Structure 1
Amino acid sequence: MRKGLSIFLIFFSLVVSGISQRTGVSLALPANVSEAKLDSKLMGHSMPYRVILPAGYAKAAAKRFRVIYLLHGLTGHYPNWTTLGTLPKSAEAFNFILVTPEGDNGWYNDSPTITNAKYESYIIKELIPEIDAKYRTVNDRKGRAIAGLSMGGYGALKFGLKYPQMFSLVGSFSGAIFAPTFTSQSFSVFGQSFSVPFLEIITRTTTDAFGPPGSASRTENDIFSIVRSTDPERSKSLPFIYLDCGTEDILLQSNREFATLLLEKKIPHEFRQLPGGHTWPYWNKQVVEFLNLSERILK
C-alpha cells in the first residue's frame, strides 16, 4: 500500500511539472539561455527548443564547442532543464553548448500510427543539423553527447544504440527503459502494480508512440532487444553509456537489469546506484556528474 502511494505521488509530481510548463508565467531567461523554434517538416509544425551557451562562446569566434542534448521526461517539456533544473547556473562551470529539445509525451519515437509524430527523426534529421548550422559546434560524434531523465533517459539510450555514428557518449538518469514492452496487464515493479493514474498515462502514451502490444515498432525500439542482438564487432562502435538510478526509485530494478545486460555483452558503460528518488534534486546532481564525464570523453 505504501509503495502504491509512493508511485502515485511520483506520478502526480510529474504531471504537475508538465502542467506548470504548459501554463506557467513567462519569465525572463538567464543571459546564457536562448529559445528558438524549428519549422519541422517531419512534425508538421514548429518545434521549440532552448540552448545554453558556454560563457566564452561570444568571444571565442574561432573556437568550436562540444554539444550535449538533454531530453526531458514524460509530462514534461523542453524548458524543464532550465526551470525545474539548475542547469543555467551549473552549466557555467563547463564549456559545452547544451540543447533541450521538445519531446512532448512521444517517447522520442516515430509513431507508427500518428501522422507527424516523428520525434526520433525530428531530433536526428532536423534538430541536430539545425544546431550544427546555427552554432560553432564540433560537428561529429567525437564532440556530441545525448542524455535524458526518465522518458528522456530511454530516448537517449535508444539514440545511442541506433545511431552510434552520431554520439560518443549517452546518459540516462532514472531511465524509463521498459517503455516499448510496457503493458498494463503484465508490468509490475517488485511485484507491486503501478497506481491506476500512472498505468493510464503510460498505457496511452506508449500505445501512441509504439503502437499496440506486439507491434513491430515495439520490438524495433526495445533497447533490451537491441543490445541482445548487438554482435561484438558492432559493440566496438557504440558510444560509452552512463546509467544511473536512485535507490528509492521505482525504476531501479529495470535499470539494474539493463546494466547487467550491458555487462554480459561487454559494452563499455558505467552504472551508478545512488541515494535518491524520481525527483529533480536527484537529477540536478546527476546531470553535473554527466557533464564532468563529458569533459573527459568528448573531444
Structure 2
Amino acid sequence: MKKLLSFFAIVICLKTAHAARVDTVDVPSARMNKEIKAVVISPEHTKATHVLYLLHGYSGKYSDWVRRAPRLADLVDAYGFMVVCPDGGYDSWYWDTEQADYQYETFITRELLPYIERSYGVGSDRFNRGITGLSMGGHGALYLAFRHQDLFAFAGSTSGGVDIRPFPNNWNIKQRIGSYHDHPNAWNEHTVMGLIHLIQPGNLQLFIDCGTDDFFFDVNNRLHEQLTYHNIPHHYLTMPGKHDWNYWSRSIDFQMAFFNQCFQRTEATK
C-alpha cells in the first residue's frame, strides 16, 4: 500500500514544461505481409532506455491515445521513458488466430519490439519493457505479458476486458476464435482470467485499474480476487468512472506513474 500511495503522490505533484516528440512509423510485419502504423512518443531532452507499449481498445487505432489523452506526451517528457502505441486492428484482441491477417500476438512480440529497439536504440531486456492498454488493449497487454514473461517484466490494464467469457456475443470475438458454445476451450485459452496459472512467482509486476461504473468492473474485481487468492502481488485501483475517455484520461496518470516506478527501480539495481 505504501508503494501505491507513493506513486499517487507523484501523480498529484507532477508538472512539466516540455513537449515530447511524437512520430508515426510504419512497422513491417512479415507475418501479416503488410505495414502496421504505430505512434512513438519520445522524451524531448532525455535519451530513453525504457519503453511502455500502450495498446488501444476495440474499434480504435494507433493514434487514439495521443489524440484523446494529449497529456500523455507531457508524462513521457516528465518521466523520460518512451511510449509506443501500435495499431492492433479493429477487433484483434491482440491474438494470433487462424485468419492470416489476425496475427497480432506475433506482431507485437516478434516484430514490433525488435523494430523499436533497433530503430531507437532502447534497451532490449525484459526489465526495459512494460505493456498496458485500455479495454481490448488492457486484455491484450495482460494476455501478452502472461504468455511472454521472457519479454515483459511489467504489465498493466485500464478498464480491461480481462474475462471475455461473460460476453459471448460481443466485440466480434466469436468471429476471431469461434463461438463460446462450440469452442469453450479456445475461449478459456484466450482469456486473461484463464491464464493466471502461467504467472511465475515474482516474475511480473502488475497494475490494474477500472472505473466503478464500467461494464468491465465485475470481471476486473474477479481478476483481483483470483490474483489475491493465488498470492500473486499486484496493485489494484478503482475510481469513479465509466468505460470512456473521461476515465482513461485520468487513469493514464496512474498507469504512467506505476511504470515509472518500475523502471526507476530497475535503474537503481544496476
TM-score scaled to structure 2, two decimals?
0.84
1:248-295 per-residue CA deviation (whole Å, 9 max, x = no partner) reads 111111100010000011111011111111111211221111111112
Partner in structure 2 of residue 36 of structure 1 = 25
Taking only aligned residues, the RMSD between alpha carbons, in angstroms, comes to 1.7
Q: 1:245 aligns with which of 169, 185, 210?
A: 210
2:175 aligned with 1:208: yes
Larger radius of gyration: 1
Gap regions ≥5 residues in structure 2:
1-18
Q: Higher mean Cα deviation, 146-155 or 172-181?
A: 172-181
DSSP-derived class of the 2:57 partner: coil
**CA–CA separation in structure 2 for the residues paired with 1:91 and 1:97:** 6
2:7 alignment counterpart: none
Q: Judging changes above 3 Å, is the alpha-carbon distance between structure 1 residues 31 and 289 closer, same or farther for their aligned structure 2 residues? A: closer
Q: Which amino acid aligns with 1:210?
A: I
- The 5-angstrom pairing of residues 211-230 of structure 1 reads 211-213=178-180, 214-215=182-183, 216-227=185-196, 229-230=197-198
Secondary structure, aligned partner of 2:155: strand
2:3 aligned partner:
none
Partner SS state of residue 138, structure 1: coil
Provide the C-alpha distance between the structure 2 equivalents of 1:46 and 1:134, rounded to a whole number of angstroms: 15
Q: What is the rounded CA distance, in whole Å, between the counterparts of 1:55 and 1:97 in structure 2?
A: 10
Aligned residues: 242
Cα offset for 1:180? Answer: 5.5
CA gap 1:42/1:169 in 2 versus in 1, 3 angstroms = same
SS in 2 for 1:134: helix
Structure 1 runs not aligned, ≥5 long: 1-29, 185-198
Could you list the per-position Cα deviations for residues 77-113 of structure 1 after superposition, in whole angstroms to 9, with x for gaps in the alignment? Answer: 000011011212332211111100001111100112x
Q: Give the C-alpha shift of residue 296 in structure 1.
A: 1.4
Per-residue CA distance 1:14-55 (angstroms, 9 max, x = gap): xxxxxxxxxxxxxxxx86100110121111211010100012
Identity of aligned residues (%): 29
Q: CA deviation at 1:237?
A: 4.7
Tell me, yes or no, if the aligned pair for 1:48 and 1:101 is still in contact at 8 Å. Answer: yes
The offset of 1:154, in angstroms, is: 0.3
The alpha carbon displacement at 1:209 in A equals 2.5
Whether 1:279 and 2:268 are equivalent positions in the alignment is no
User: In the alignment, is the contact (CA less than 8 A) between 2:20 and 2:77 conserved in 1?
Assistant: no
2:257 and 2:20 mapped to 1: Cα distance?
Answer: 23
| Residue 181 to residue 249, structure 1, CA distance change in 2 (3 Å) | closer
> 1:258 maps to which residue?
223
1:82 aligns with 2:66: yes
**Partner Cα distance (1:178, 1:71) in 2:** 17
**Retained in 2: the 8 A contact 1:164–1:237?**
no
Q: Secondary structure at the match of 1:120?
A: helix
Q: Distance in 2 between matches of 1:93 and 1:285?
A: 16
The structural deviation recorded for 1:167 is 1.1
Structure 1 residues 72 and 272: CA distance shift in structure 2, 3 A: same
SS at structure 2 position matched to 1:235: coil
2:42 corresponds to which letter in structure 1?
A: L
- Matched with 2:55 is 71
Q: Return the alpha-carbon distance in structure 2 between the equivalents of residues 142 and 260 of structure 1.
A: 26
- Code of the residue aligned with 1:48 in structure 2: it is K
Q: Which residue of 2 aligns with 1:49?
A: 38
